[in-house]
Amino acid sequence: MTPLSNSVKNKTRLVFAIFALLGFSMLGQETIVSSTAGNGSFGLVTASQTANLVLDNSDYEGVAIAAKNFQKDIERVTGKLPELLSEENSEVKKHGNVIIGTLGKNTMIDSLVQHQNIDVSKIEGKWEAYIIKKSGENLVIIGSDKRGTIFGIYELSKQIGVSPWYWWADVPVKKSNELYIAKNGVTSTGPKVQYRGIFINDEAPALSTWVTENYGKFNHEFYEPVFELILRLKGNYMWPAMWGKAFYDDDPANGVLADKYGIVMGTSHHEPLARAQAEWGRYGSGEWNYETNEDTLKSFWRKGIKRMDDRETLVTIGMRGDGDEPMTEGTAISLLERIVKDQREIISDVTQKPTEETPQVWALYKEVQDYYDQGMRVPDDVTLLLADDNWGNIRKLPKLADSTRSGGYGIYYHFDYVGGPRSYKWINTTQISRVYEQMSLAYDYHARKVWITNVGDLKPMEYPISFFLDYAWNPEDFSIEDLKAYPEQWATSQFGKEYAAEIAELLQKYTTYNSRRKPELLSEETYSLTQFNEAEEILSDFNELEKKADEIAGKLEEKYQSAYFQLVLHPIKASANLNRMYIALAKNKLYAEQQRNTTNRYAEKVSEYFKKDEEITEAYHSIENGKWNHMIFQPHIGFTSWFDPKQNIEPETSKIDIPEEAGLGIAIANSEDYYPKSSNLSLPIFDKNNAKSSVEIFNRGKEELEIKIKKLPKWLKVSKTKAEINESEHLFFELVSEKLPAKTTKESFIIQSDDDKVEIEVTYQPFDFKTEGFVAKNGIISIPANKYQENNGWEMIPDLGKRDIALRPESSFTQEASENASLSYQFSIKEDTEAKMSFLISPSLDFLDNGGLKFAYSIDGGDLNTLNLLKDTKDNWGTSVSNNVTEVIEELNLEKGAHTLKVYAIDPGIVLQNIIIETDSATPLNTYLAPTE
């Protein structure tokens, strides 16, 4: 067995608490800033002086831009504005300076390296590496290259208390009168993933309307804070907005500014040779068809490369159809190979350099992967940009043996998507643990050249964007323990330490709840009203979450309120309200069928929640004096197909005429049966593990309903024997332990009103053997993956899955299942039964092209049975991604008694959440979540 890299192994790291925490540095980067002086520390701002910032005029312009921002950051934190001087300036002192520069571009830095023996061996020649340390009586920020220096500057900005989101989410700076930098500082040898970026996409109607109102168009004034944000997050790469937009054509200053800042520009997966698709609509002639319009397309693309000039660009090659559609029916491999060959000749001819000296990517997105799978290849220097399925499941990864490709491999990922089975754009639904699980696989299989993610409107994806770029910096030094710690670390960076743990829990829970089913996919049919109190569980989850969020809002200082609303409170309130609306709609429709007297009230509640949705949106748009007006306006109610409606559409509800006279209605727990629809009602079978049950009595008229319980068996007790009911009331039944029958007993009791008498059957069935492990409740055994008896080589991924439970095998695999990682579970069956066993597994794809994703199981040490996640399931891809789980079902016969189930890994990518066993006595399971154990 070959172990995977350290990114998938739990490991401990000694964290050196150099100074008291002031700012915050993510992912193990030592904290080097303090508000009090330490032994030999450098005084950036002290009671008596403020250090100068010193640059070399010959250094990169992007370094000067970052230094000016650092100057402003210091003033934001301390109220004191340092001087920003060139090294030639006569005011430069011999000590007390922050000397900022790039190796080979700053004479003072180069002199200090030579004469003060600053060791730069760990960064020299590296990509985006930096050193921050005291040298003599000065502080130096030395970069190995342009962005290395910039990242050093922004690392210090973050540590003094300026969040990368200070502008984009209005996160306040952390004030301090004095700032000191640790003597030994910090050295970063650079990122493990070379290009790390975001794709602004699907930007209408929210972002595009906001941009139009504030900037007129997607010009350099809009992109400037975007570039700054990316760099503060230690990203370096961007695909610009492209829905009717053309980055270079909309404003010629866009590309110039990006290069000054240090942003590597690209174009999306279907926009080759640095030309936006919108430009074809503006300037192209004829069809977007290489077979019929080759010369025109070549000329069009040539202008893109010429315009690119010598600015840092990752050039997209290849071709899709016009409008991000397939180019042809089927795969025209020879045609695409000719297109790529001609595009590379254009690149070489225009740049007057060998083609391989211009970085290129070929995006294997959607049907383009089919070309690769059927044998098409591009030159080795081209980066193969592999993709997810638009829902966070990576479609393909290279074989470990293929890792020597000079152009390497990358990943195009999604936090936002427009397309089937349903567009999702409104709100963050991404669990960072899911990003970790998938992207750690990508890194382990050497997809390390480019990581880029579709972030939609940029807001409200602040949290997963931060994680994606933080993780991309050094996946090798990021463990499961780091994943657990990340939410609190991020919350500390935005809101300070006092309530960070509580805010972290809010972040984790709202993303978990939203990832269960994306808001755009919710309907009145999502959660069950009749089984396992599922809908009530959902309401309880959101009610408790919103209550805690409001409590924290009441405690936070005023300066944090705006950022807290944007990053935490809004998504919680908006999501909670939406779930309430759909559950109210479900109740309205069920109650109309049952003719309950509360039917019309729930119709009114639906309307109230719909209006509340608009109010929550307007609250977002009004914060910061309307700074973010339009930014969260994304229709999310009223979908009838995959694409979003033009505006939210209020759901249709039912209203009924309610008679004056009371009418008896009875609903049985965990059953869709109710009276008067059915007169043959029975409670689920009682035993020592199913000692409680309930019925709901509901009124079908306006007058008060009076009921009595009669002829109750002596081995059963009830919470009330009579009741006066205006709307509805639950009656709870429980076994009387000292009066239990010795053998299976079937009896009945009566619920009687003035006009009705309904007989309810009850059965008690004792166990006649010692049970072990999990036992059926209402005929169903539900086993959370983390409730194993033995664990041999599986690791828990925190906060992943519908119930925050997910395990994956830690190491690589053989096709001999018995040699691989395994989990053991115990359960008991009280009678021989035919059963359906369901493995609930996080969606995944055959990313290694092994014929599926396989795992195996055995019962009681018997034969191994191999199952395939992608073949042994009734779920198609659309169902799996919509449900955020794939259900693999096995039919089997189980004998009465205790059993041991053992689950074995075969292929990587198996993430187990839950196991459900339905016996033949169970009511068919009709819940969205797995029942609790």
Cα 258 to Cα 164, 227, 252, distances in angstroms: 18, 7, 11
How far, in Å, CA of 337 to CA of 377, rounded? 8
H or E segment to which residue 195 belongs: strand 195-200
How far, in Å, CA of 157 to CA of 151, rounded? 10
How far, in Å, CA of 210 to CA of 204, rounded? 9
Closest-CA residue to 161 (of 551, 433, 485, 493) = 493
How far, in Å, CA of 541 to CA of 803, rounded? 11
Residue 136, judged by CB atoms within 10 A of its CB (0-12, 13-18, 19+), counts as: middle
Closest-CA residue to 909 (of 856, 838, 841) = 841
CB atoms within 10 A of CB 659: 13
CB atoms within 10 A of CB 360: 26
Q: Domain 195-478 classified CATH 3.20.20.520?
A: yes
pLDDT average per 10 residues of sequence, the chain (933 residues):
38 33 55 96 97 96 99 99 86 86 95 90 98 95 99 98 99 98 96 99 97 98 99 99 97 98 97 97 96 97 98 96 66 91 98 98 93 94 98 95 90 98 98 98 97 98 99 97 98 98 99 98 98 97 99 98 99 99 99 99 99 99 98 96 95 98 97 95 93 98 98 98 98 97 97 97 91 91 98 97 95 81 96 96 96 96 97 93 98 96 96 96 89 84
Q: What pLDDT score does 28 carry?
A: 56
Closest-CA residue to 60 (of 192, 197, 153) = 153
Q: What pLDDT score does 615 carry?
A: 99
How far, in Å, CA of 475 to CA of 42, rounded? 31
Q: Taking the domain 15-188, which CATH number applies?
A: 3.30.379.10
Give the β-pairing of 138-143 and 130-135. antiparallel
Q: What angle do CA 326, 329, 334 make, to 5 degrees?
A: 90
User: 627 in helix, strand or coil?
Assistant: coil
H or E segment to which residue 502 belongs: helix 500-516
User: 142 in helix, strand or coil?
Assistant: strand
How far, in Å, CA of 413 to CA of 269, rounded? 12
How far, in Å, CA of 146 to CA of 235, rounded? 13
How far, in Å, CA of 750 to CA of 760, rounded? 6
CATH topology (fold) of 500-626: Methane Monooxygenase Hydroxylase; Chain G, domain 1 (1.20.58)
H or E segment to which residue 507 belongs: helix 500-516
Give the β-pairing of 807-809 and 794-796. antiparallel
- Single-letter amino acid, residue 721: T
- What six digits make up the tokens of 621? 């748009």
Cα 925 to Cα 532, 782, 785, 842, 918, distances in angstroms: 10, 11, 19, 19, 8
Is the CB of residue 669 less than 8 Å from the CB of residue 683? yes
Find the farthest-apart pair of alpha carbons in the chain and give their distance in angstroms, rounded.
Answer: 102
**Beta carbons within 8 Å of 77's beta carbon, 6+ residues apart:** 45, 160, 161, 162, 173, 174, 175, 176, 179
**Beta carbons within 8 Å of 268's beta carbon, 6+ residues apart:** 199, 201, 239, 242, 277, 316, 324, 363
How far, in Å, CA of 65 to CA of 454, rounded? 27
User: 664 in helix, strand or coil?
Assistant: strand
Is the CB of residue 124 less than 8 Å from the CB of residue 190? no
Which residues does residue 666 pair with via DSSP β-bridges, in sequence order? 675, 697
User: 588 in helix, strand or coil?
Assistant: helix
Q: What angle do CA 889, 915, 798 make, to 5 degrees?
A: 130
How far, in Å, CA of 165 to CA of 155, rounded? 14
Q: Taking the domain 774-919, which CATH number applies?
A: 2.60.120.1620
CATH topology (fold) of 664-764: Immunoglobulin-like (2.60.40)
Backbone angles phi, psi at 829, to 5 degrees: -120, 130
The residue written with tokens 């719909």 in the block is: 610
Classify the C-alpha dihedral 295-301-307-308 as positive or negative.
negative
User: 705 in helix, strand or coil?
Assistant: strand
How far, in Å, CA of 52 to CA of 44, rounded? 8
Closest-CA residue to 864 (of 825, 910, 906, 916) = 906
pTM to 2 decimal places: 0.95
Is the CB of residue 785 less than 8 Å from the CB of residue 913? yes
In the chain, what are the domain boundaries? Answer: 15-188, 195-478, 500-626, 664-764, 774-919
Q: What pLDDT score does 30 carry?
A: 84
- Single-letter amino acid, residue 758: V
Q: What pLDDT score does 7 carry?
A: 41
